[in-house]
Amino acid sequence: MSLPLPFTHREITVDGVRIHCALGGDGPPVLLLHGYPQTHVIWHHVAPALAADHTVVLTDLRGYGDSAKPAPGPDDAEYSKRAMARDQLLVMRELGFDRFAVAGHDRGGRVGHRLALDAPETVSALAVLDIVPTRHTFAHADKDFGLGYFHWFFLAAGNGIPERLIGNDPEFWITARMNSRHGGGTAFDPAAIAEYVRCFSDPAAIAASCSDYRAAAAIDLTHDDADATAGRKIAAPLLALWGEHSFVGRTYDVLDVWRSYADDVRGQALPADHYLPEEQPALVTAALREFFSGRG
Protein backbone atom coordinates (compact mmCIF):
# COMPACT_ATOMS: atom_id res chain seq x y z
CA MET A 1 0.00 0.00 0.00
CA SER A 2 1.29 3.49 -0.80
CA LEU A 3 0.06 6.83 0.39
CA PRO A 4 -2.03 8.85 -2.05
CA LEU A 5 -0.41 11.69 -3.94
CA PRO A 6 1.16 14.18 -3.36
CA PHE A 7 3.37 12.13 -1.02
CA THR A 8 6.84 11.20 -2.10
CA HIS A 9 8.93 8.57 -0.32
CA ARG A 10 12.53 9.10 0.73
CA GLU A 11 15.26 7.29 2.62
CA ILE A 12 17.21 9.59 4.94
CA THR A 13 20.24 8.35 6.88
CA VAL A 14 20.87 10.02 10.24
CA ASP A 15 23.68 9.01 12.57
CA GLY A 16 24.13 5.91 10.43
CA VAL A 17 20.48 4.82 10.70
CA ARG A 18 18.33 4.83 7.56
CA ILE A 19 14.81 6.19 8.15
CA HIS A 20 12.04 5.71 5.62
CA CYS A 21 9.77 8.74 5.30
CA ALA A 22 7.01 10.18 3.16
CA LEU A 23 6.49 13.89 2.52
CA GLY A 24 3.54 15.80 1.10
CA GLY A 25 1.36 18.86 1.32
CA ASP A 26 2.21 22.49 1.94
CA GLY A 27 2.11 24.71 5.01
CA PRO A 28 3.37 24.47 8.60
CA PRO A 29 5.28 21.19 9.16
CA VAL A 30 3.74 18.30 11.08
CA LEU A 31 5.53 15.04 11.91
CA LEU A 32 3.29 11.97 12.26
CA LEU A 33 4.62 8.96 14.18
CA HIS A 34 3.11 5.48 14.26
CA GLY A 35 2.89 2.81 16.95
CA TYR A 36 3.16 -0.93 17.40
CA PRO A 37 2.89 -3.14 15.36
CA GLN A 38 2.43 -0.73 12.49
CA THR A 39 4.19 1.67 10.16
CA HIS A 40 3.57 5.17 8.82
CA VAL A 41 0.66 3.63 6.89
CA ILE A 42 -1.56 3.96 9.99
CA TRP A 43 -1.98 7.59 8.90
CA HIS A 44 -3.21 6.71 5.40
CA HIS A 45 -6.62 8.33 5.99
CA VAL A 46 -5.43 11.28 8.08
CA ALA A 47 -2.27 12.38 6.28
CA PRO A 48 -3.79 13.31 2.88
CA ALA A 49 -6.51 15.36 4.57
CA LEU A 50 -4.02 17.09 6.88
CA ALA A 51 -1.79 17.82 3.90
CA ALA A 52 -4.38 20.25 2.56
CA ASP A 53 -2.96 22.90 4.89
CA HIS A 54 0.21 21.38 6.36
CA THR A 55 3.47 19.95 5.16
CA VAL A 56 3.10 16.41 6.46
CA VAL A 57 6.06 14.14 7.19
CA LEU A 58 5.47 10.48 8.01
CA THR A 59 8.24 8.15 9.07
CA ASP A 60 8.78 4.54 9.99
CA LEU A 61 10.42 4.51 13.40
CA ARG A 62 13.78 2.76 13.56
CA GLY A 63 13.14 -0.97 13.82
CA TYR A 64 9.78 -0.71 12.05
CA GLY A 65 8.46 -0.67 8.51
CA ASP A 66 11.09 0.01 5.88
CA SER A 67 13.46 1.85 8.21
CA ALA A 68 16.75 0.32 9.34
CA LYS A 69 16.76 -2.15 12.21
CA PRO A 70 19.98 -1.80 14.23
CA ALA A 71 20.90 -4.95 16.14
CA PRO A 72 19.86 -4.54 19.78
CA GLY A 73 22.65 -4.28 22.31
CA PRO A 74 22.69 -5.68 25.85
CA ASP A 75 20.97 -2.60 27.37
CA ASP A 76 18.59 -1.96 24.42
CA ALA A 77 19.84 1.63 24.18
CA GLU A 78 19.48 1.41 20.40
CA TYR A 79 15.71 1.41 20.96
CA SER A 80 15.47 3.91 23.78
CA LYS A 81 12.92 6.60 23.07
CA ARG A 82 15.80 9.07 23.28
CA ALA A 83 17.57 7.38 20.35
CA MET A 84 14.33 7.05 18.38
CA ALA A 85 13.42 10.67 19.04
CA ARG A 86 16.85 11.85 17.88
CA ASP A 87 16.27 10.04 14.57
CA GLN A 88 13.13 12.08 14.05
CA LEU A 89 14.76 15.34 15.02
CA LEU A 90 17.58 14.79 12.54
CA VAL A 91 15.21 13.70 9.76
CA MET A 92 13.20 16.89 10.16
CA ARG A 93 16.38 18.98 10.16
CA GLU A 94 17.51 17.21 7.00
CA LEU A 95 14.18 18.17 5.43
CA GLY A 96 14.74 21.78 6.44
CA PHE A 97 12.42 22.00 9.44
CA ASP A 98 13.89 23.40 12.66
CA ARG A 99 10.52 23.74 14.41
CA PHE A 100 7.46 21.59 13.85
CA ALA A 101 4.40 20.00 15.41
CA VAL A 102 4.31 16.29 16.29
CA ALA A 103 1.49 13.76 16.54
CA GLY A 104 2.25 10.25 17.75
CA HIS A 105 0.06 7.21 18.22
CA ASP A 106 1.03 4.48 20.70
CA ARG A 107 4.85 4.01 20.60
CA GLY A 108 5.06 7.07 18.37
CA GLY A 109 3.44 9.10 21.13
CA ARG A 110 6.16 7.97 23.50
CA VAL A 111 8.83 8.98 20.99
CA GLY A 112 7.08 12.33 20.62
CA HIS A 113 7.00 12.73 24.41
CA ARG A 114 10.76 12.18 24.59
CA LEU A 115 11.39 14.50 21.61
CA ALA A 116 9.43 17.30 23.29
CA LEU A 117 11.52 16.88 26.45
CA ASP A 118 14.91 16.55 24.76
CA ALA A 119 14.39 19.27 22.13
CA PRO A 120 11.80 21.67 23.54
CA GLU A 121 12.88 24.44 21.21
CA THR A 122 11.95 22.25 18.26
CA VAL A 123 8.47 20.94 19.10
CA SER A 124 5.81 23.62 18.66
CA ALA A 125 2.94 21.36 19.72
CA LEU A 126 2.54 17.70 20.65
CA ALA A 127 -0.47 15.41 20.17
CA VAL A 128 -0.43 11.99 21.83
CA LEU A 129 -2.95 9.34 20.82
CA ASP A 130 -4.23 6.72 23.26
CA ILE A 131 -1.38 6.72 25.74
CA VAL A 132 -0.43 7.99 29.15
CA PRO A 133 3.27 8.32 30.02
CA THR A 134 5.30 5.13 30.31
CA ARG A 135 6.50 6.08 33.78
CA HIS A 136 2.93 6.43 35.02
CA THR A 137 1.80 3.10 33.59
CA PHE A 138 4.58 1.12 35.27
CA ALA A 139 4.17 2.99 38.56
CA HIS A 140 0.46 2.11 38.62
CA ALA A 141 0.57 -1.37 37.09
CA ASP A 142 -1.88 -3.85 38.62
CA LYS A 143 -3.74 -7.01 37.63
CA ASP A 144 -5.93 -5.17 35.12
CA PHE A 145 -2.90 -3.61 33.48
CA GLY A 146 -1.12 -6.97 33.37
CA LEU A 147 -4.09 -8.55 31.62
CA GLY A 148 -4.99 -5.63 29.38
CA TYR A 149 -1.42 -4.81 28.38
CA PHE A 150 0.13 -8.26 28.74
CA HIS A 151 2.13 -7.64 25.57
CA TRP A 152 4.29 -5.07 27.42
CA PHE A 153 5.63 -7.85 29.61
CA PHE A 154 5.61 -10.58 26.95
CA LEU A 155 7.61 -8.48 24.46
CA ALA A 156 10.07 -7.44 27.16
CA ALA A 157 10.80 -11.05 28.12
CA GLY A 158 14.33 -12.23 27.39
CA ASN A 159 15.99 -15.35 26.04
CA GLY A 160 14.46 -14.95 22.58
CA ILE A 161 11.03 -16.10 23.77
CA PRO A 162 8.77 -13.49 22.12
CA GLU A 163 10.92 -13.40 18.99
CA ARG A 164 10.58 -17.16 18.49
CA LEU A 165 6.87 -17.29 19.24
CA ILE A 166 5.87 -14.28 17.14
CA GLY A 167 8.18 -15.33 14.32
CA ASN A 168 6.33 -18.61 14.03
CA ASP A 169 3.18 -16.79 12.81
CA PRO A 170 3.58 -13.00 12.60
CA GLU A 171 0.36 -12.57 10.62
CA PHE A 172 -1.67 -14.18 13.39
CA TRP A 173 0.04 -12.03 16.03
CA ILE A 174 -0.65 -8.77 14.19
CA THR A 175 -4.22 -9.49 13.21
CA ALA A 176 -5.08 -10.87 16.65
CA ARG A 177 -3.62 -7.85 18.43
CA MET A 178 -5.28 -5.33 16.13
CA ASN A 179 -8.69 -6.96 15.90
CA SER A 180 -8.90 -7.28 19.67
CA ARG A 181 -8.42 -3.52 20.04
CA HIS A 182 -10.80 -2.15 17.40
CA GLY A 183 -13.92 -0.56 18.86
CA GLY A 184 -16.00 0.61 15.95
CA GLY A 185 -15.94 3.23 13.23
CA THR A 186 -13.94 2.63 10.06
CA ALA A 187 -12.79 -0.94 9.49
CA PHE A 188 -9.13 -1.68 9.00
CA ASP A 189 -8.10 -1.45 5.35
CA PRO A 190 -6.99 -4.92 4.21
CA ALA A 191 -4.17 -3.32 2.22
CA ALA A 192 -2.90 -1.62 5.37
CA ILE A 193 -3.04 -4.88 7.31
CA ALA A 194 -1.11 -6.60 4.51
CA GLU A 195 1.55 -3.89 4.72
CA TYR A 196 1.91 -4.31 8.48
CA VAL A 197 2.25 -8.06 8.04
CA ARG A 198 4.81 -7.64 5.26
CA CYS A 199 7.01 -5.42 7.36
CA PHE A 200 6.61 -7.39 10.57
CA SER A 201 7.43 -10.68 8.90
CA ASP A 202 11.08 -9.61 8.91
CA PRO A 203 12.75 -11.28 11.92
CA ALA A 204 14.83 -8.14 12.41
CA ALA A 205 11.62 -6.12 12.85
CA ILE A 206 10.35 -8.55 15.47
CA ALA A 207 13.65 -8.38 17.37
CA ALA A 208 13.74 -4.59 17.16
CA SER A 209 10.19 -4.20 18.43
CA CYS A 210 10.92 -6.46 21.39
CA SER A 211 13.95 -4.30 22.15
CA ASP A 212 11.68 -1.25 21.97
CA TYR A 213 9.55 -2.70 24.78
CA ARG A 214 12.58 -3.85 26.78
CA ALA A 215 13.95 -0.32 26.61
CA ALA A 216 10.62 1.00 27.87
CA ALA A 217 10.93 -1.14 31.00
CA ALA A 218 14.56 -0.18 31.63
CA ILE A 219 16.58 2.65 30.06
CA ASP A 220 13.50 4.73 29.20
CA LEU A 221 12.43 4.69 32.84
CA THR A 222 15.92 5.85 33.84
CA HIS A 223 15.57 8.81 31.50
CA ASP A 224 12.01 9.52 32.66
CA ASP A 225 12.97 9.37 36.34
CA ALA A 226 15.81 11.82 35.72
CA ASP A 227 13.37 14.27 34.13
CA ALA A 228 10.94 13.90 37.02
CA THR A 229 13.70 14.47 39.57
CA ALA A 230 14.83 17.59 37.70
CA GLY A 231 11.25 18.86 37.40
CA ARG A 232 11.33 18.83 33.60
CA LYS A 233 7.92 18.84 31.92
CA ILE A 234 6.70 19.23 28.36
CA ALA A 235 6.61 22.94 27.58
CA ALA A 236 4.77 22.68 24.26
CA PRO A 237 0.96 22.66 24.19
CA LEU A 238 -0.20 19.05 24.44
CA LEU A 239 -3.33 17.46 22.99
CA ALA A 240 -4.32 14.03 24.29
CA LEU A 241 -6.81 11.96 22.28
CA TRP A 242 -7.90 8.54 23.43
CA GLY A 243 -10.46 5.87 22.66
CA GLU A 244 -13.44 5.80 24.98
CA HIS A 245 -13.47 2.00 24.60
CA SER A 246 -9.70 1.56 24.92
CA PHE A 247 -7.83 0.33 27.99
CA VAL A 248 -6.43 3.85 28.37
CA GLY A 249 -9.86 5.40 28.25
CA ARG A 250 -11.37 2.89 30.69
CA THR A 251 -8.50 3.00 33.16
CA TYR A 252 -6.99 6.47 33.50
CA ASP A 253 -8.09 10.05 33.98
CA VAL A 254 -6.05 10.84 30.90
CA LEU A 255 -5.96 14.63 31.15
CA ASP A 256 -5.19 14.57 34.85
CA VAL A 257 -2.27 12.19 34.29
CA TRP A 258 -0.79 14.28 31.49
CA ARG A 259 -1.04 17.45 33.58
CA SER A 260 1.66 15.97 35.82
CA TYR A 261 3.94 15.75 32.78
CA ALA A 262 3.07 18.83 30.72
CA ASP A 263 2.25 22.47 31.42
CA ASP A 264 -0.53 23.02 28.87
CA VAL A 265 -2.89 20.06 28.37
CA ARG A 266 -6.21 19.58 26.61
CA GLY A 267 -7.95 16.66 24.93
CA GLN A 268 -10.92 14.38 24.57
CA ALA A 269 -12.10 10.82 24.15
CA LEU A 270 -13.20 9.61 20.72
CA PRO A 271 -15.68 6.81 19.94
CA ALA A 272 -13.04 4.18 19.24
CA ASP A 273 -10.72 1.66 20.84
CA HIS A 274 -6.95 1.96 20.37
CA TYR A 275 -6.32 2.65 16.67
CA LEU A 276 -7.74 6.16 16.46
CA PRO A 277 -6.23 7.22 13.10
CA GLU A 278 -7.80 4.20 11.41
CA GLU A 279 -11.02 3.88 13.42
CA GLN A 280 -11.98 7.57 13.48
CA PRO A 281 -9.84 9.33 10.87
CA ALA A 282 -12.21 12.25 10.28
CA LEU A 283 -12.42 13.06 13.99
CA VAL A 284 -8.66 12.71 14.43
CA THR A 285 -7.99 14.94 11.43
CA ALA A 286 -10.37 17.62 12.67
CA ALA A 287 -8.87 17.56 16.17
CA LEU A 288 -5.29 17.76 14.88
CA ARG A 289 -6.07 20.49 12.38
CA GLU A 290 -7.74 22.64 15.06
CA PHE A 291 -4.96 22.01 17.58
CA PHE A 292 -2.09 22.64 15.18
CA SER A 293 -3.62 25.77 13.68
CA GLY A 294 -1.19 28.64 14.24
CA ARG A 295 1.34 26.39 16.01
CA GLY A 296 3.45 25.16 13.07
Q: How many domains does the chain have?
A: 1
What parts of the chain have a pLDDT lower than 50? 1-3
Please report the pLDDT score of residue 4 as a whole number. 52
What pLDDT was estimated at residue 252?
97
Residue 1 domain-assigned (yes or no): no
The burial of 116, by beta-carbon neighbours within 10 Å (0-12 exposed, 13-18 middle, 19 or more buried), is given as buried
Question: Residue 67 carries which DSSP code?
Answer: S
Active site residue 44: no
Residue 137 CA to residue 174 CA, distance in Å, equals 23
56-102: pLDDT as tens digits: 999 999 999 999 999 999 999 999 999 999 999 999 999 999 999 99
CA distances, 103 to each of 16, 29, 57, 67, 130 (Å): 25, 11, 10, 19, 11
The verdict on residue 2 lying in a domain is no
Give the whole-angstrom CA distance, residue 213 versus residue 217: 7
Note the pLDDT of residue 90: 98
Query: Domain range spanning residue 111?
Result: 8-292
- Closest by CA to 245, choosing from 272, 283, 267, 269, is 272
For residue 3, is it within any domain? no
What's residue 184's pLDDT?
81
- Is 253 tagged catalytic? no
**CA-based end-to-end distance of the chain:** 29
CATH code of residue 75? 3.40.50.1820
Q: Is residue 221 part of a domain?
A: yes
pLDDT at 2: 45
Instruction: Report yes or no on 254 lying in a domain.
Output: yes
Specify if 251 maps to a domain: yes
pLDDT of residue 15: 95
Single out the catalytic residue among 106, 130, 220, 224. 106
State the pLDDT at residue 256: 98
**pLDDT for the residue 1:** 43
